[in-house]
Structure 1
Amino acid sequence: MTVMLIVPIGAPIAAAGAYAALGWRRATAWLGAVAAAVVLASGAVLAASTDDRPPTALDGLLRADALSAFMLIVIGAVALLAMLASPGYLAAEKAAGHATGRDTRRYGVLTQGFVAAMALGVLAASLGVLWVAVEATTILTAFLVGHRRTRNATEAAWKYVVICSTGIALAFLGIALLHFAARHAQVPSSGSLDFTQLTAYAGRLDPGVTRIAVALLVLGFGAKAGLAPLHAWLPDAHSQAPAPVSALMSGVLLSVAFYAVLRVKVIADIALGAGFVRVLLLIIALASLALAAALLLAQRDYKRMLAYSSMEHMGLLALGAAIGSRLAVAAVLLHVLGHGLAKSVAFLASGQIQQAVGGSRIDAARGLAARAPLVAGGFGAAVLALLGFPPFSLFASEIGIFRAGFDAGLGWAVAAALALLLLITASLAARTGRMLLGAPKTGPGAATLPFRPAAAAGAALVAGLVACAALGITIWPLHSLLDHAAAILEAHG
């Protein structure tokens, strides 16, 4: 099974090499989707094989347990949707003069490197390797955010690099301090950043140094997850990146960064007790929800609207992680997958809309349901899923988080979150309704609708929504995996 730890990293790298050598053409356009399917299949195989003694390979570098197997499934599923939609999206970009053959070649290389870096992050055996993987995603996606090379895209890319690099620098300082605490706790030097070793020796770590290290790590990785206070890169990057890249970034990159927070929390709960990280995450969660609610009130750009929705859902993940019970953590993980599927569909549909109307203003897309029913239906259903309506899985995961919060005596935090969610729901529903049901724009600059997406892009929209709804009806294929993953993350102390 050690080979299965290398395959999900190697498959996207091989696809990137093919794109670099051959470019983006008819014969290679679907390699990204094939590589994503391999990542998804690898996650499923690892999920079926992980037990109390997880398989390891390249000692000190790679490791798989139920949690990392689950995250591989999330990465593979979201990447598959994004890569299925990419050929049609790039073809439309080239037809409109927004991309050249060189641009599409670079897109293929960078997106596959991006997927490989995320797979490396969730399979990392040590905090150091995880940090390297997260930093690699920053470098790769910075070029993807600036794909169109317009002034706004370049500005968004620089903003993304500056803010995320600040967060990564904070995380690096936290790693250095945790390494210092580990060495003074007699953790072997070869395993001073290894998750297994740190967890085993966590009770011996110096509380003062560990407290500072954990705070820096949560803030640093939280910046990459789009959590307050270092969240400002999120709307600019998502509004300028190509739609499939926005799907990858919002649907899974934010969750991979939050995965790093969860891994740190396991160590912190043993070293410091559950109280310290709980308070820190509660503050971050409610601040993120409050900011998302405030910023959505006057939003007129539907891609930025979806970005602030991502901030909202990361806040919900932080709330669930703060609660920390097994029910809360299982709900958090289900929410990660459900959000990844729904947000990917929303961003892929928004890309189709943007190419048709020539911009991302809400007013430019009025009357969408009558003129482009498939895309409008996909976008509207995805927003309903993101708002937590049944039968989609986010309904079940949000109920699980709120129920666990009341059971844990954090009813005040759940009540505050629910009040903010009401504001967010009203804002998203009003703006989406205006896009889908409003009177169509006429005259100069009117949308070039009706239109139909490419067959593969339409299939990606339908598949993502069906999977999200199926998980809301029953989670039996993932029940055991979620239970084992939640047991790894359940709060102690």
Structure 2
Amino acid sequence: MTLPLTLPVAVMVLVPVLVPLAAACGYAVLGWNKVTAWLGALAAAALLAAAVVSAITVSGTRQAVTAWDLLRVDPLSAFMLIVIGAVALLATLASPAYLAGDHTHARAARRYGMLTQAFIAAMALAVLASNLGVMWVAIEATTILTAFLVGFHPSRQATEAAWKYVVICSAGIVLAFLGIVLVHYAALHAGLTAAEALDGAALARHAVGLDPGVMRIAAVLLVLGFGAKAGLAPMHAWLPDAHSQAPAPVSALMSGVLLSVAFYAILRIKLITDVALGPATMRVLLIAAALGSLAVAAALLLAQRDYKRLLAYSSIEHMGLLALGAAIGTRLALAAVLLHMLGHGLGKSALFLSAGHIHQAVASSRIDAARGLIRRSPLLAGAFALGLLALLGMPPFSLFASELGIVRAGFAAGLGWAIAAALLLMLIIVAAVGRHGRRMLLGSPPPATQPVTQAIALPRTAALTLIVALAACAILGITTGPLGDLLHGAAAIVGATP
């Protein structure tokens, strides 16, 4: 059922896209200074407020608000807007202190402000788009915009990472484009009009009439294509290089929310293919991607020597867990997947922002250079340690609750073998990350001959951002509060069974 479009709701639908674009234009005209530095945070706060209003409008239902047949807000897209708004607010609040500590000149800072705000707007458009083609365009736009942000620092490593990111993600997005073309072909031959052939809601309603052979090929292409952008194996290789070279707030946005936006596209495709083909096809594809991603993360985390790359490989693990939950496909599993997206976004934002301040202080991303962190900055070390605990799924953080939900749903759905394999790989990951984290936090400080053995100062705004992110992640682990109805409504859209 579609709710009537009123002027206030139309404004709320447009705010998540138009306000960040307006902020990007503001940076282009006014530049970056002590006042405009906070323009991005104001835009992110407006996006989050609009997401909350949209969530209240559609919460606990399967209803949607459609604007001009282009934008659509239902519980799933409203929840994703909350994830985008929350992580964007954390990243933009931390940006002024990070750029000041990095001694970024005004021209580069203006470029940073323009690109990050356009990036946030593109992600908002991707989750609001009712048309698969528009969603594809928005996700491709994030690739173009973030390529310049990955290569923001003038270094050979950053340039190589940006090119690698562009090549792999563009290859993936081409596969996704071919998949969408096949879906369009199947829709036209099933009798849908040209206007309906790429509309997500119309495709879901008429999916039973889509050609199974064509849709099976489309499903493979779409999972590979959008999976490349989500950091799923086997097209994950761009992720550690890009996340280790991008500015810390950008890494928080990319790992904390961009990967989830790409996975949101897979969920939308799953909604169609499950009706057209039955759940078995997507289940096989997603379980393969999930276990492959967990295996890659476990293998590469064992001998990791770079703490920023460590966090990036951890993102591959968590995307694998999302794929596993989506493969299970029940409403409990899907609710856990969505909660995991939000918890991962909050926890990973705190970790990447902490890592950015550590990197500025020790002038290196190597784990050995950051040894003895707890002696040099107890607050920063505490935030980093709590972030690692959240990342490893320890209580009371929300990742513990979401991982437990995925495990319970998997055993209930008869996929105990996949859950057992995932738990074994996760045990290896916990041991590897715990070992590296202990070296950073409790190890002996580097010799005096190495740079920076002095205390590490943390700006007040940065400290507040880390505290808020970790506190929100912990609160969600105890209670979902007003998000409960929204989670159930969003899970009901994609989940086939209770």
TM-score normalized with structure 2 length? 0.97
1:125 corresponds to which letter in structure 2?
S
Find the counterpart in structure 2 of residue 54 from structure 1: 64
Is the contact between residue 16 and residue 46 of structure 2 (CA under 8 Å) also seen in structure 1? yes
Is the contact between residue 372 and residue 449 of structure 1 (CA under 8 Å) also seen in structure 2? no
Q: Does 1:427 align with 2:446?
A: no
Correspondence list, 1:86-485, <5 A: 86-94=95-103, 99-485=104-490
Find the counterpart in structure 1 of residue 4 from structure 2: none
Measured after TM superposition, the shift of residue 448 of structure 1 is 4.8
Q: Does 1:81 align with 2:90?
A: yes
Deviations 1:338-383 (A, max 9, x none): 0000000000000000000001000000000111111111111001
**Matched residues in 1 for 2:42 and 2:324: separation?**
35
- The sequence identity of aligned pairs, in percent, is 66
Measured after TM superposition, the shift of residue 58 of structure 1 is 2.4
Deviations 1:295-349 (A, max 9, x none): 0011000000000000000000000000000100000000000000000000000
Is the contact between residue 177 and residue 210 of structure 1 (CA under 8 Å) also seen in structure 2? yes
**Matched residues in 1 for 2:384 and 2:481: separation?**
27
Find the counterpart in structure 1 of residue 38 from structure 2: 30
SS in 2 for 1:476: coil
Q: Does 1:68 align with 2:77?
A: yes
Aligned residue among 25, 30, 37 for 1:17 = 25
Deviations 1:417-460 (A, max 9, x none): 00000000000000011000000012233325312222111111
Is the contact between residue 150 and residue 161 of structure 2 (CA under 8 Å) also seen in structure 1? yes
Is the contact between residue 291 and residue 320 of structure 2 (CA under 8 Å) also seen in structure 1? yes
- Go from structure 1 to structure 2 and tell me whether the alpha carbon gap of 1:448 and 1:21 turns closer, same or farther (over 3 Å shift): farther
Is the contact between residue 228 and residue 284 of structure 1 (CA under 8 Å) also seen in structure 2? yes
Measured after TM superposition, the shift of residue 477 of structure 1 is 1.5
Displacement over 4 Å in runs of 4+: none
Structural RMSD (CA): 1.0
**Matched residues in 1 for 2:239 and 2:399: separation?**
21
SS in 1 for 2:37: coil
Number of residue pairs matched? 488
Is the contact between residue 88 and residue 453 of structure 1 (CA under 8 Å) also seen in structure 2? no
Is the contact between residue 243 and residue 347 of structure 1 (CA under 8 Å) also seen in structure 2? yes
1:198 corresponds to which letter in structure 2?
L
Find the counterpart in structure 1 of residue 3 from structure 2: none
2:67 corresponds to which letter in structure 1?
A
Deviations 1:116-136 (A, max 9, x none): 000000000111011000000
**Matched residues in 2 for 1:385 and 1:321: separation?**
21
Deviations 1:99-149 (A, max 9, x none): 321110000000000000000000001110110000000000000000012
Is the contact between residue 445 and residue 453 of structure 2 (CA under 8 Å) also seen in structure 1? no
Is the contact between residue 365 and residue 447 of structure 1 (CA under 8 Å) also seen in structure 2? no
Is the contact between residue 354 and residue 360 of structure 1 (CA under 8 Å) also seen in structure 2? yes
Aligned residue among 469, 482, 489 for 2:494 = 489
Is the contact between residue 374 and residue 452 of structure 1 (CA under 8 Å) also seen in structure 2? no
SS in 1 for 2:492: helix
Q: Does 1:2 align with 2:10?
A: yes
**Matched residues in 2 for 1:362 and 1:415: separation?**
31
Deviations 1:250-287 (A, max 9, x none): 00000000000000000000000000100110001000
1:248 corresponds to which letter in structure 2?
L
Is the contact between residue 127 and residue 193 of structure 1 (CA under 8 Å) also seen in structure 2? yes
Deviations 1:56-102 (A, max 9, x none): 1122x1110000000000000001110111000001111xxxx3211
Deviations 1:214-260 (A, max 9, x none): 11001100000000010000000000000000000000000000000
Measured after TM superposition, the shift of residue 54 of structure 1 is 1.3
**Matched residues in 1 for 2:481 and 2:93: separation?**
26
